[in-house]
Amino acid sequence: MNEKHTTLGDVAAIFYLTPDNAEIGEKNLFLTLKLTTTDENGAPTVKEYDRIFLHRAFPFEHPESFISVQDAEKNEIGMIAELSVFPPETAERLRAELARKYYAPALTAIKQLKERYGYAYCTAMTAQGEVHFTMRDVSRNLFRIDENRLLLTDIDGNRYEIPDLHALDRKSYRQIELYL
């Protein structure tokens, strides 16, 4: 009478996109998807999406795995378990799309971080040059991904990343240390 337990995986039945069932292309800089699925009778059905959106389930821990692929209405079509299951060319295309979506310039130095009346004004250096941005309530808009990585969100919702806190120079570190 003790029936075998169903595992979580059986019940959840997550649909994964793989090179076998998904063909990812590009049209006018947008990603397209041609999805081939089989119904209960084994008959293949083909569905085409002329725009798909990628969304990381774990944006910080796993930038390249557990990617949710969504249609224009943000409904999940399926998940990509790992970018590398796709051929290098497709993977590169997906990577580029993700980079666009998760655009967050890396800050190499913080020149100034001044707080005035609840707003913090920051001047920082990136590889592309100096940036200025304003943050409201610094400690709340500063997300510590792990010991070393830091994500800052400014008042407009732009994101900046500090990839390695301890690689910052002393002066930069001092400015940000206050809020850690």
Rounded to a whole number of angstroms, the minimum distance from the CB of residue 34 to another protein is 22
Confirm if 68 and 54 have CB atoms less than 8 A apart: yes
Strand partners, 160: 152
Rounded to a whole number of angstroms, the minimum distance from the CB of residue 170 to another protein is 26
Q: Is 20 or 146 the residue whose CB approaches another protein more closely?
A: 146
Rounded to a whole number of angstroms, the minimum distance from the CB of residue 67 to another protein is 10
Which residues of this protein are in contact with another protein, per CB under 8 A? 1-6, 8-14, 55-62, 66, 68, 70, 74-76, 79, 81, 140, 143, 145
Q: Is 145 or 165 the residue whose CB approaches another protein more closely?
A: 145
Q: Is 53 or 86 the residue whose CB approaches another protein more closely?
A: 53
Lay out the sheet containing 129-136: strands in order across: 107-116, 119-126, 129-136
Rounded to a whole number of angstroms, the minimum distance from the CB of residue 173 to another protein is 23
Strand-strand pairing, 22-27 and 107-116: unpaired
Quick count: other Cβ atoms within 10 Å of Cβ 138?
17
Residue type, 143: F
